[in-house]
Amino acid sequence: MVHYEALGEQRLSFGPTQGGLRRGVAVRNLLRRFGRVLRLRADTLSGEEQEKLYDLSEDVVAFDKFMSHCWNNPGWKKVLALIFDILGLHAFWAAFLAALVVHVTQCVCSVLPKSSLVRHDTYTKLDLRVSFWEVIVGEVAALCVIFMGHLFCKSSRYFVDCASIHQTDKELKLAGIANIPDFLRNSKELLVLWDKEYITRLWCVYEVAVTQVPGAARVPIRLLPMDMYTFLAGLHAYSFVTAVQFFFMLPSVSDITTLNMSTLFACTPLLAFVAKSGGGLQRLGGGVGGGGGGAAERGGVS
């Protein structure tokens, strides 16, 4: 966390484009060790560890994304939101293509062992062999992208306060804080890791306001509702477990009515997840529209 109380103690004169102050964090460093830089608060680290945070960033001309968030929120939620935002689509296509390749391969030459589970379909009068390979290989492919895909992300650079602003060198630290408006104006997008507390934090509101100054080029704002991404992760885990269990149960289902009832029973929690997400979106809209009347000053750059 970057404390800014010292700004009021002395007058500082820093130019709007100080050389070397714009430092961005690559995705491979941002998500390294499951986003350790976001899961640990900088003010709880030793001086040596804080210096290492600065080494995660590098000089940039502009930022692809300026990440705005509250340090009071759980770091793992931020990491989940960023993983799904950055790698989610890639993970989907990896799972889809991997499952498709396995299915075609099994149909053509049956390289992998076949399951002993067989269901006799009363409608088509066919014996259908249950196959787990498509689901398992697809899931493994998706998880490989989720946990290792960041290693191949080399172009995007994020502004992350604790790594982009020096934590131990007082002069560099104050210079970085003083130039936050410049960092925002030189970002392609303001990425807000949203939760219900965000709009109550004065420094967060300030960052949003800087990007919307009348007469200046406005920076696009995009919200990542962290709670919704957390529900998405839970939904995915539930879907995978349910699918595997359903395959084991499928051979014992003899009629279409039982099959439909079993499917409905399995999908009920999924519908509950969707309803919960819809309620979250509604509250998100209310929070954004409600303004920051209850904003309270915080002790760090978000």
The average confidence (pLDDT) of the chain is: 82
pLDDT digits (tens, 9 = 90+) for 254-295: 666 666 677 777 777 777 777 766 666 666 666 555 554 444
State the pLDDT confidence band at 246, using cuts at 50, 70 and 90: confident
Asked if residue 64 has pLDDT above 90, the reply is yes
Task: Indicate if the alpha-carbon torsion angle 26, 27, 33, 38 is positive or negative.
Answer: positive
**36 vs 302: which has the higher pLDDT:** 36
Could you tell me the CA-to-CA distances from 254 to 67, 121, 301 in Å, in that order? 53, 7, 61
DSSP letters for 70-138: -TTS-HHHHHHHHHHHHHHHHHHHHHHHHHHHHHHHHHHT--SPPPS-EEEETTTTEEEE---HHHHHH
Give residue 248's pLDDT: 77
Percent of the chain scoring above 90 in pLDDT: 48
Asked if residue 96 has pLDDT above 70, the reply is yes
Looking at 32-41, 111-120, 147-156, 179-188, which range is the least confident one?
111-120
State the pLDDT confidence band at 192, using cuts at 50, 70 and 90: very high
Give residue 63's pLDDT: 97
Q: What are the residues whose beta carbons fall under 8 Å from the beta carbon of 223, sequence distance 6 or more?
A: 192, 194, 284, 288
Give residue 117's pLDDT: 72
pTM reported for the whole predicted model: 0.80
Asked if residue 7 has pLDDT above 50, the reply is no
Asked if residue 89 has pLDDT above 80, the reply is yes
CB 150 within 8 A of CB 87: yes
Looking at 22-31, 33-42, 208-217, which range is the least confident one?
208-217
Asked if residue 86 has pLDDT above 90, the reply is yes
CB 168 within 8 A of CB 47: yes
Give residue 254's pLDDT: 63
Asked if residue 252 has pLDDT above 90, the reply is no
Give residue 295's pLDDT: 41
Q: How confident is the model over 106-125, as a mean pLDDT? A: 74
CA distance 87 to 153: 9
